[in-house]
Amino acid sequence: MQQIIRFLVEHPEIVEKLQNGTVSLIGLSELEGKAVIKAFSESIHPLRYWM
Amino acid sequence: MSEKEKIAKQMKEIVKQFMSESQLKAHMLMAIEEHMKESDLVFGRLAYLHYGLFSAQRNHPTYIAAAIELIVLAGDLFDDVVDQDRLKDDAITVHTAIGFLLLGQQVIAHSHIADEKKLKALSYVTSCLLQSVHGQQADVACNVQTEAEYVKMVEKKSGSLVAMACVIGALLAGKEDIAAIETYARYIGIAAQIDNDLDALYNWDKKADIQAKKKSLPILYMLESKHDNLWKQYFNSDIDYERMYVQKEKALQQMEQEGAIYYAKVMSQIYKEKAWQEIEKLDVDDKYKSALKTMIL
Window B:81-140, CB contacts with A under 8 Å: none
Shortest CA gap A16–chain B (Å): 15
The tens-digit pLDDT sequence of chain B (297 residues) is 888 999 999 999 999 999 999 999 999 999 999 999 989 999 999 999 999 888 887 777 899 999 999 999 999 898 888 876 544 567 888 999 999 999 999 999 998 899 999 999 999 999 999 999 999 898 888 889 999 999 999 999 999 999 999 999 999 999 999 999 999 999 999 999 999 999 889 988 888 889 989 999 999 999 999 999 999 999 999 999 999 999 999 999 999 999 999 999 999 999 999 999 999 988 888 888 888 888 876
Cβ neighbors of B281 (< 8 A, separation 6 or more) are B180
Candidate from A36, A47, A49 with C-beta closest to B266: A36
Cβ neighbors of B6 (< 8 A, separation 6 or more) are B62
Cβ neighbors of B102 (< 8 A, separation 6 or more) are none
Q: What is the number of alpha carbons within 13 Å of residue B142 lying toward its C-beta?
A: 11
Distance CA A28, CA B208 (A): 35
Distance CA B48, CA A45 (A): 31
Q: How far is CA B44 from the centre of its chain?
A: 11
Range of the domain at B117: 39-61+111-296
3-state secondary structure of A42: coil
Q: Which amino acid is at B87?
A: L
* B187 close to A31: Cβ distance less than 8 angstroms: no
| Closest among B216, B142, B167 to B47, alpha carbons compared | B167
Distance CA B158, CA B152 (A): 10
Phi/psi of residue B281, nearest 5 degrees: -75, -15
In a domain, B85, yes or no: no
In a domain, B153, yes or no: yes
* B178 close to B213: Cβ distance less than 8 angstroms: no
* B69 close contact with A: CB closer than 8 A: no
Quote the number of domains for chain B: 1
* B156 close to B138: Cβ distance less than 8 angstroms: yes
CATH code of residue B181: 1.10.600.10
In a domain, B174, yes or no: yes
A2–B262 C-beta distance less than 8 A: no
Shortest CA gap B235–chain A (Å): 19
In a domain, B226, yes or no: yes
ipTM of the complex: 0.85
Shortest CA gap B59–chain A (Å): 26
Distance CA B220, CA B103 (A): 38
Distance CA B12, CA B70 (A): 10
In a domain, B265, yes or no: yes
